[in-house]
A and B are shown apart, each in its own frame.
Chain A
Amino acid sequence: MTLDLIIPIIITLVGASTPILLAGLGELVAEKSGVLNLGVEGMMLIGAVITVAVVLLTGNHWLAIICAAGASAAAALIFGFLTLSLSANQVATGLALTIFGTGFSALFGQPYTGKAVPLFRSPFPPELAADPVWRVVFGYSPLVYFSLIMVVAVWWFLQRTRAGLILRAVGENDLSAHSIGYSVIGVRYLAVAFGGAMAGIAGSCFPLILTPQWVERLTTGRGWIALALVVFAAWRPFRLLAGAYLFGLVMTLEVYAKAAGGGFRVLPSELWAALPYLATILVLVLISMRRGGSSSAPACLGKPFLPTG
């Protein structure tokens, strides 16, 4: 009985967590290099709509995900060009990117609105994925396994490789990195493009795991939650994983509250829908209370690189 309840909750939870985990990992790398890209939501929407289009046209999930990653990385490079090459304000440019992504996805998605998209199902033999208990391990979309691999990969990259060390150095002190001879702008371009690609793949999760169709504003603010998660995780990949699953739980509650009756009905469904956002605010408050104001943010986060020569 309890298993019957818990297993679907876990499955829903993991699915709901995956997009914010992927987008959060991408943003984490970008922010470690010193760039604050507020366009995550817009890039996710672009990724989502491209995924829908490619899946409906070709039926190939992998191709759709690659296209989504490429499209969102290209969008991220617009942001990169403005903020890195032209030193535009990162906050304003990130907002512009979100507005652009919203408009682009709405326009581009019109022919596909409401059409059913085949889900991207577990790559394991159906016998394994069908068993009620083994489903917890084998029953997920390949995107879920990919997101978990990426947690380890991002951690390994940042902490164990020389390239990761350079990336952190650029985010920590851009002027020093420049005077030693590293290309600050080059490193940041790559980090921003990676962040875009990951946001695009995060966007793929919506039609391929969560709601198998295109509707306008499909991502409903999850990109912003991913941004908050990076702060919550103090720029550490494994804490990001924990944070994403915690939020997944909150979002899962919303789904079950709407479906189930009983105790959940005491509170209006709108409150459940607002819960992830309220939880985000609460978490941000708790984080900054515990840190007593000092943050572990990369020192150059959000500041334009202006070598004085």
Chain B
Amino acid sequence: MQFQLEKRPAPSRTMRIVTPFAAVALTMVLGAIVFTLLGYDGLAAVREIFFTPLTNSYKWQDLAVKATPLVIIAVGLSVSYRANVWNIGAEGQYIVGAIAGTGVGLLTHTMTGPWIFPLMLLAGIAGGAAYAAIPAFLRTQFKVNEILTTLMLTYVSVQLLNYLVFGPWKSPTSMGQPQTVLFSADQSQPYIIPGTIVQVGTPIAIVVALLVWFVMSRSVFGFQVRAVGASPAAARYGGFSANRTVWLALLVSGGLAGLAGILEATGPFGRLVPQFPTNYGFTAIIVAFLGRLHPLGVLIAGTALAITFVGGEVAQTTIQLPFAAVGIFQAMMLFLLLAGDIFVRYRFKRSVPEATRAAA
């Protein structure tokens, strides 16, 4: 008796939902084995990384803080990837969004008023979108592949950030430290739950996910994105412009990455520093896939990845596991998810060896 893969008549919806969970579960099993083989306490590593952040209620607010930028960026990326537009430079758009918002912050530093913070958010969105507009322009005008341009621009944005914080934007009171001035109260994210570190960014992330869910599932815009992504020729036949879709996909994903950037700058960081880029833009790629490019799935996946970040910090102090281990766990999740995708389109079939084969 042997097993054979057989194509399903239609992709399985159940499998689409089940496989991400299975991938996470299998990551824990494999991770425990791999890290044991590497000479660490594998079981403890899995426990600290995946469970301690959930069982320890002090860590819940950390989860919300980490999940917020991941969800906002990944929701944008899920729109982009649905359209088959491979924006992998969200990290750069996140940085430029933070820079643009900070620019407004520096201009309004001496002013007061409730309008300042929203204006900074808008500037952040605009900055991220404008930075993503470069690959959109190059793709639609010159057919330059957006994978490479978005990524190259990420490296450029890091240099831009360094130039600003080491140079013109360096705070006069920083005593030589490369950093901008601390944002004022009117420029910072308000706290929403007293006594915690949860700020307004978290509800914003949830609203963004719900809003994008509605738009993608109900509107002609969402239909257009899905159609162009699934079949460019059919979408063109249906009257949707591929170029316009590329623009929309990059502007939405860039804008949301920019929003996450300025929220992060006005929240946990409070100012711009050279250490501002923390790879949320790259981790959000995993979040988008693990969330099945679905805004609600992204909410769950964003939380799951936030757990590994928080857990990674826990494991660093409790069992001296290097933080880099988190990256390996995250990559394993994505590998296993992609491997599991085969079950969405195929299923196992039991097959009995036939007389012909046996005789061969």
5 new A-B contacts at CB < 8 Å, known A99-B327, A100-B335, A274-B156: A100-B327, A100-B328, A103-B329, A268-B167, A281-B153
A96 with B86: CB separation less than 8 A: no
A82 with B142: CB separation less than 8 A: no
Q: Does A176 contact B (CB under 8 A)?
A: no
B335 with A78: CB separation less than 8 A: yes
A270 with B338: CB separation less than 8 A: no
How would residues 55 to 94 of chain A score, 1 for a CB under 8 Å from any chain B CB and 0 otherwise? 0000000000000000000000010011000111101110
Q: Which residues of A contact B37 (CB under 8 A)?
A: none
In Å, the complex CA distance between A307 and B50 comes to 40
**Given A99-B282, A110-B322, also A277-B143 (CB < 8 A):** no
A96 with B159: CB separation less than 8 A: no
In Å, the complex CA distance between A102 and B151 comes to 15
A224 with B156: CB separation less than 8 A: no
CB-CB nearest 7 A-B residue pairs: A103-B327, A106-B324, A100-B331, A107-B324, A270-B163, A274-B159, A88-B338
**Given A92-B289, A96-B334, also A103-B153 (CB < 8 A):** no
Interface size class of chain B, counting residues whose CB lies under 8 Å from the partner chain: 35 or more
B169 to chain A, nearest CB (A): 13
**Number of A interface residues, CB 8 Å?**
43
Q: Does B185 contact A (CB under 8 A)?
A: no
**Given A224-B152, A271-B159, A274-B155, also A103-B324 (CB < 8 A):** yes
Q: Does B233 contact A (CB under 8 A)?
A: no
A44 to chain B, nearest CB (A): 14
Stretch at the interface among A162-170, A202-210, A284-292: A284-292
Q: Which residues of A contact B38 (CB under 8 A)?
A: 107
Q: Which residues of A contact B160 (CB under 8 A)?
A: 270, 274
A88 with B138: CB separation less than 8 A: no
Residues of A within 8 A of B (CB): 38, 78, 81-82, 86-89, 91-93, 95-97, 99-100, 102-104, 106-107, 110, 216, 220-221, 224, 227-228, 231, 268, 270-271, 273-274, 277-278, 280-281, 284-285, 288-289, 293
Most buried by A among B38, B149, B159, B282: B159
Q: Name 13 A/B residue pairs within 8 A (Cβ), A-sorted.
A: A78-B335, A86-B339, A96-B334, A104-B328, A107-B38, A110-B324, A224-B152, A268-B167, A270-B159, A274-B159, A277-B156, A280-B148, A284-B148
Q: Which residue of B lies closest to A279 (CB)?
A: B152
B167 with A82: CB separation less than 8 A: no
B242 to chain A, nearest CB (A): 13
Q: Does B225 contact A (CB under 8 A)?
A: no
B270 to chain A, nearest CB (A): 23
**Given A91-B86, A96-B331, A102-B327, also A285-B338 (CB < 8 A):** no
Q: Which residues of B contact A278 (CB under 8 A)?
A: 152, 156
Q: Does B162 contact A (CB under 8 A)?
A: yes
Q: Which residue of A lies closest to B331 (CB)?
A: A100
A92 with B328: CB separation less than 8 A: no
Q: Which residues of A contact B147 (CB under 8 A)?
A: 38, 91
Q: Which residue of A lies closest to B328 (CB)?
A: A103
Q: Does B313 contact A (CB under 8 A)?
A: no
Q: Does B171 contact A (CB under 8 A)?
A: no
A106 with B162: CB separation less than 8 A: no
B145 to chain A, nearest CB (A): 7
How many A-B residue pairs have C-beta atoms within 8 angstroms? Tell me. Answer: 123
Q: Which residues of A contact B332 (CB under 8 A)?
A: 100
In Å, the complex CA distance between A302 and B200 comes to 41
Within 8 A of A (CB), among B269-289: 282, 285-286, 289
B330 with A285: CB separation less than 8 A: no
Q: Which residues of B contact A88 (CB under 8 A)?
A: 338-339, 341-342
A288 with B143: CB separation less than 8 A: yes
A103 with B341: CB separation less than 8 A: no
Q: Which residue of A lies closest to B134 (CB)?
A: A281
B265 to chain A, nearest CB (A): 19
Q: Does B259 contact A (CB under 8 A)?
A: no
Most buried by B among A78, A270, A293: A270
B145's partner among A93, A103, A284 (CB-CB below 8 A) is A284
A289's partner among B142, B145, B166, B331 (CB-CB below 8 A) is B142
Q: Which residues of A contact B130 (CB under 8 A)?
A: none
A281's partner among B152, B163, B285, B324 (CB-CB below 8 A) is B152
In Å, the complex CA distance between A87 and B339 comes to 8
Q: Which residues of B contact A221 (CB under 8 A)?
A: 151-152, 155
In Å, the complex CA distance between A89 and B322 comes to 30
**Given A103-B330, A221-B151, also A288-B142 (CB < 8 A):** yes
A107 with B334: CB separation less than 8 A: no
Q: Does B144 contact A (CB under 8 A)?
A: yes
A228's partner among B143, B148, B282 (CB-CB below 8 A) is B148
B299 to chain A, nearest CB (A): 20
Q: Which residues of B contact A107 (CB under 8 A)?
A: 38, 322, 324-325, 327-328
Q: Which residue of A lies closest to B283 (CB)?
A: A99
Q: Does B252 contact A (CB under 8 A)?
A: no
B335 with A96: CB separation less than 8 A: yes
B285's partner among A95, A100, A293 (CB-CB below 8 A) is A95
In Å, the complex CA distance between A44 and B167 comes to 33
Q: Which residue of B lies closest to A79 (CB)?
A: B335
A224 with B151: CB separation less than 8 A: yes
